[in-house]
Structure formats: structure tokens, C-alpha cells
Amino acid sequence: MTAPPDLKLLDGFERALINERLHYAYQPKISLATGKLKRVEALVRWHDPEMGAVPPSRFIPLAEGHGLIDQLTRYGLDRCFTQWKEWRAKGIECELAFNISAMNLNALDFPDIVEAKCEEHGVPAECLVLELTEGSTQSLVNLMDTLTRFRIKGIGLAIDDFGTGYSTMKLVRQLPFTEVKIDRFFISDATRSMDSRVIVEAMIGLAHGLGLSATCEGVETREQIQLLRAMECDVAQGYGVSKPLLAEDLPGWIEQWEAGWDEMIAP
Ligand code: C2E
Ligand code: MG
Ligand code: MG
Ligand code: MG
């Protein structure tokens, strides 16, 4: 008898996690003021020998539902911090953005675990930004407590996929975020539709008004880069900057990207 698909997926994922066969792709985020690399976002990748590439949208919920998310997050931090050190040794200076699950925040010692990992690997807390998507089951008071503890340690906090959830306005006002990541849904037609453009500009203004940095994700074209620069958006990320890269391809990408920046922003 063959196992039902979800169990097969869960079993495969658990084995990949235990055997350290999950890896990370890194997507560059650039400063729109200078064109320089600011940060990379680590995105987990699982390639199963039988099933092929399984997207995080399929296995992250599974990990969350089966008590494996804390283990995945700890594993990912170790992998990505090790990678960050390798880049640093080659003279590449960039911050690291790492996605966490709202469920990770249920563990009261999570901020201490992250801080200990930073210390263990020699990654300054200021070089780490945690990205959190709305959807926590925690009360606002608990969230406030946990997120504040990250901020006290100097770790940055981004609200991911901003604008798509129910209570993002409330969250961004009350919680100690440092960055707003405007969901790619809004940027996708901002160069064509006046309405979308107004919304993107308003969200950038909202972020700045609250003292937060504004990032646009899903930036795919040169026109969008130019538009976002005109709107004084701080950071851009998307296929138009770079697809998520293998770690070893980052140095070559930086060289190529920086050489093309003047042309990218030329009228
Ligand atoms: P996210 O954090 O919003 O990540 C951005 C997603 O958009 C990534 O998909 C990325 O590959 C994709 N993307 C980036 N630029 C573009 C673009 O220009 N156009 C389009 N169409 N897509 C773009 P991915 O890697 O499939 O990740 C999906 C989600 O899974 C992430 O959304 C994040 O919420 C979650 N995720 C990824 N890695 C991790 C992880 O290590 N831990 C946790 N807890 N969640 C993760
Ligand atoms: Mg993210
Ligand atoms: Mg996002
Ligand atoms: Mg998104």
C-alpha cells in the first residue's frame, strides 16, 4: 500500500531535515539610493530525489503542523550563518535576512536561541534581520514581548508580505518592526496602473512616517526600479535585481550588477 501523499511528503521532509539535505538560496536586496548590495534573503530549498524540487509553500506548513519548525529554523540559522562567514572571509559585506515562522515565537527562549547562534558564529546581531509574515496565533501582548526582546539585542525585524493580511496596519503600528516589505502583488502592475502606483507610494510613505525602512519585493523590471527610486523606496528585491542564487554565485553577481547600475538608472 502506498502512503497518502501528505505522509510521504512529511516523511521525506523529515528525512531531508535530519540528514541535512535542505539547502538555501540567497536573493540579493539592493539599496535603491546606491545600487549596492545591502542584504541577502535566505530561502530554504528542498530537492527530493524522487519528488524533485518541493516549494517552501508546501513543506513549511507541514513543518509547522508537525512540530518540526523549530528544528528547521535552528538548522537554517546554522547553515546561513556559516555561509555568511564564508562570504565575509572573501570580503563580501552584507546583512542576512532570514524568514521565521510565527510559530517560532511560541518558544519563549527563541530570542535567546537566536542571540546564542549569532555569538557562536560571530555574526553581529546588527547584521541579522528576521522576516515575519502576519498570521501569528499569539496575542499582541506576547508578540510585543518577544519582538521587543529581539530589538533589544539589536536584531532587525521586517514585516513580510505587507498589505496582504487582515491587521497589518495594527501590527505595524504597535509592534517594534524596523522594516516593511511591501508584497509583490502591489508592485507587479505599478508601472501600468495608476491605482497600484498610488498604493505603493502610500505604503512607502507609511513606512517612512513610522520611522521604518521600506522594501519592495517582486521587483522584476528596470521601469519598476526607476519608479521605486523616484518614490524614495529604500530597498528593492526581485527577479529584476536577481533571482535567488546559489551561495557561490553571489560574488560574481555583485561584480556584474554593480557594473551595470549606472545604465540601469539612466533615463
Ligand atoms: P517570502 O519571504 O515573501 O519570499 C519571497 C518569495 O518570492 C520567494 O519564494 C522568492 O523566490 C519569490 N520571489 C522573489 N522575487 C520574485 C519576483 O520578482 N517575482 C516572483 N514572482 N517571485 C519572486 P519562495 O522561495 O518559494 O518562498 C516562499 C515563501 O516561503 C517565502 O516568502 C517565505 O514566507 C517562506 N520561506 C522561504 N524560506 C523559508 C525559511 O527558511 N523559513 C520559513 N519559515 N519560511 C520560509
Ligand atoms: Mg521573506
Ligand atoms: Mg515576502
Ligand atoms: Mg511574498
Residue-wise pLDDT tens digits, 126-168: 999 999 987 665 677 888 999 999 999 999 999 999 988 777 7
In the reported structure, the alpha carbon of residue 43 is separated from the centroid of ligand 1 by a whole-number distance in angstroms of: 6
Identify whether the C-beta of residue 76 lies closer than 8 Å to the C-beta of residue 42.
yes
Identify whether the C-beta of residue 94 lies closer than 8 Å to the C-beta of residue 123.
no
Cell numbers given for 169? 496596519
Identify whether the C-beta of residue 9 lies closer than 8 Å to the C-beta of residue 214.
no
Q: Measuring from each residue's beta carbon to the nearest atom of ligand 1, which residues come in under 6 Å?
A: 27, 43-44, 55-57, 60, 76, 99-101, 131, 133, 160-161, 184, 217-218, 220, 238-239, 244
- Would the CA dihedral through 131, 172, 127, 252 be positive or negative? positive
Task: Map residue 237 onto helix, strand or coil.
Answer: coil
- Atom nearest to 161 CA in ligand 1: 3
Q: Quickly state the pLDDT bin for 236 (edges 50, 70, 90).
A: very high
Q: Which domains does the chain have, with CATH numbers?
A: 22-265 (3.20.20.450)
Rounded Cα gap, residues 182 and 204, in angstroms: 8
Q: Quickly state the pLDDT bin for 2 (edges 50, 70, 90).
A: low
Rounded Cα gap, residues 238 and 261, in angstroms: 15
Q: Quickly state the pLDDT bin for 265 (edges 50, 70, 90).
A: very high
Note the pTM of the prediction, 2 decimals.
0.96
Spell out a b/e string for 53-79, using b for 16 or more CB atoms within 10 Å of the CB, else e: ebeeeebbebbbeeebbbebbebbbeb
User: Which of 43, 66, 162 for mutating ligand 1's site (highest number of atoms within 8 Å of CB)?
Assistant: 43
Q: Quickly state the pLDDT bin for 1 (edges 50, 70, 90).
A: low
Note the ipTM here.
Answer: 0.98
Identify whether the C-beta of residue 216 lies closer than 8 Å to the C-beta of residue 236.
yes
**First-residue to last-residue Cα distance in the chain:** 63
Q: What residues contact residue 10 under an 8 Å CB cut-off, 6+ apart?
A: 62, 66
* Residue of 142, 140, 151, 123 lying closest to 42 (CA atoms): 123
User: Which of 45, 99, 222, 235 for mutating ligand 1's site (highest number of atoms within 8 Å of CB)?
Assistant: 99
**Residue 6: what pLDDT?**
84
* Counts of helices then strands in the chain (DSSP H, E): 10, 9
Which DSSP state fits 138? Answer: S
pLDDT tens for 36-54 read 999 999 999 999 999 999 9
